[in-house]
């Protein structure tokens, strides 16, 4: 079997592996191997030059696709689990005392909550979830609720 066939075979295997893994790493190896195989079939180079060509091409492909892969992977990531509650509205079901814990109801579930600014928030007030710390929600009173109490 000729060297260029081995390079192309390695490239195809890397491309198949890429289908099952995110990040474009194996794609870089695959493109590097296939292009090395094509160059080897044209010029018939010694193995040391083939490896050097493979390394250079793989590096260039990896660097050029890195931004693309980061964009694709980060664009599809959304907050999950408890962190998905950030920015949602909730209703206070047990008063949140000054610098203390109360309870809020979000989507049918009750959560422990504290006021972001440490001020008291009364029962039945609407709040916005600003952050999550451990198992408690950090909330602020909604703007329209502030105006009603003022």
Give the C-alpha separation, 53 to 62, whole Å. Answer: 14
What pLDDT does residue 80 have?
Answer: 60
Structure-model confidence comparison of residues 95 and 142, the more confident one: 95
Q: Is the pLDDT of residue 148 over 90?
A: no
Strand-pair partners of 102: 113
Residues in the chain: 150
- Topology of domain 81-149 in CATH is OB fold (Dihydrolipoamide Acetyltransferase, E2P) (2.40.50)
- Total-model pTM: 0.52
Contacts 24+ apart (CB under 8 A), 50-57: 50/3, 50/7, 54/7, 57/31, 57/32
Domain residue extents for the chain: 3-75, 81-149
Q: What is the pLDDT of residues 40-87, one digit of tens each?
A: 999 999 999 999 999 999 999 999 888 777 776 665 556 667 777 888
């Amino acid at each position: 079997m000729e060297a260029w066939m081995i390079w192309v075979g390695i490239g195809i295997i890397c491309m198949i592996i890429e289908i099952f893994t995110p990040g474009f790493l194996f794609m870089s190896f695959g493109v590097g191997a296939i292009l090395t195989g094509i160059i080897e079939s044209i010029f018939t180079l010694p193995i040391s030059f083939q490896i050097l060509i493979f390394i250079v091409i793989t590096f260039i492909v990896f660097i050029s696709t890195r931004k693309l892969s980061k964009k694709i992977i980060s664009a599809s990531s959304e907050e999950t689990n408890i962190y998905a509650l950030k920015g949602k509205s909730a209703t206070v079901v047990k008063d949140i005392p000054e610098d203390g814990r109360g309870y809020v109801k979000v989507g049918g579930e009750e959560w422990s909550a504290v006021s972001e600014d440490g001020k008291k928030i009364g029962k039945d007030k609407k709040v916005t979830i600003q952050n999550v710390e451990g198992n408690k929600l950090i909330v602020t009173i909604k703007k329209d609720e502030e105006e009603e109490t003022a």
